[in-house]
Amino acid sequence: MTAKILDGRAVAHRLLDDVAADTSRFVEEFGRTPVLATVLVGDDPASHTYVRMKANRCAEVGMLSRRIDIDAGVATGKLVQQIEQLSSDPEVDGILLQHPVPGHIDERAAFEAIAPSKDVDGVTRTSFATMAFAEKGFDSATPGGIMRLLAAYDIPLAGQRAVVIGRSPILGKPMGMLLLGQNATVTYCHSKTTDLAREVEGADVVVAAAGIPELVRGAWIKPGSVIIDAGYADNRGDVEFEAAAARASFITPVPGGVGPMTIATLLAQTIAAARRHEAENRRQP
């Protein structure tokens, strides 16, 4: 068996085409351009690269990207104040705090300064709650992108046993909630899991999001399963790709799988936020 590639680049390209068309209609309808504000703290080269990529994608779909660069030594309170100002700015539709932030900053406090209506990256407690309760809100961008990718390939989830490796509040935990919302039976695995191989061997769907290169061995993969590799470190994913692809039915490459879907989902949620803001404005007396 050779797994079919889940082509995140191709699916993201189609999604961005839809976002561009919707953005064009939005500009015609409301006479303004949607704005995504990106807050970047410090000089981490990888973060700067990601922010540039997001700005480029904004330009490609016709959105405006407002970049706010903040010194690495900023105190949590000052960062929170900056984000709160963006949250109250009527010209801003979405806010992205590029993470991780420097270690001395209370990242959760900074995330919670983002107004839920502008949390297009899905990082606040409110967004997590809407994912858990399948209510109207914004998905965490990477898990939301993974769900869009699975849907694009018509991969059934109801009744399937899904294993999520990782429990971060913006990837692993919301990933499990979204899978549960599609009636999968979800198991979370993490650094304290005593027999990871046994858990993976029984899984129909594996989402690897631990950030440990080739943590998931190909020999563990259940024949015919679906493998989503959301990890990236040292230019490798969390899954032993070649060996896993020999057993799985579908697998994401690294790069070119999950990453493009994350950015596309972020922008899809930004245009959705802009439309919700206009709808709310029309309801105002």
Please, what are the domains in the chain? 32-116 (3.40.50.10860), 141-259 (3.40.50.720)
d(CA 71, CA 91): 24
d(CA 94, CA 277): 10
Query: Mean pLDDT in the chain?
Result: 96
pLDDT at 277 over 90: yes
Q: What share of the chain is helix, strand, coil (3-state, %, to 5)?
A: 45, 15, 40
161 CB burial (10 A radius; 0-12, 13-18, 19+): middle
Dihedral pair phi/psi, residue 204, rounded to 5°: -85, -30
pLDDT at 234 over 90: no
Mean pLDDT of 127-143: 96
Compute, in degrees rounded to 10, the torsion defined by CA atoms 273, 278, 281, 282: -140
DSSP 61: H
For the stretch 75-119, pLDDT in tens is 999 999 999 999 999 999 999 999 999 999 999 999 999 999 999
pTM of structure: 0.96
For the stretch 35-65, pLDDT in tens is 999 999 998 888 989 999 999 999 999 999 9
Six-digit token string for 124: 């606040």
Contact present, 27 and 33 (Cβ < 8 Å):
yes
Compute, in degrees rounded to 10, the torsion defined by CA atoms 36, 41, 42, 48: -20
Six-digit token string for 130: 């809407």
- Closest by alpha carbon to 18, among 148, 141, 150? 148
Q: Which residues are catalytic?
A: 54, 98, 121
What band does 285 get if pLDDT is binned at 50, 70 and 90?
low
Strand partners, 233: 236
Contact present, 195 and 240 (Cβ < 8 Å):
no
Which residues make Cβ contacts (< 8 Å) with residue 52, sequence separation at least 6? none
Residue 250, helix vs strand vs coil? strand
d(CA 107, CA 109): 5
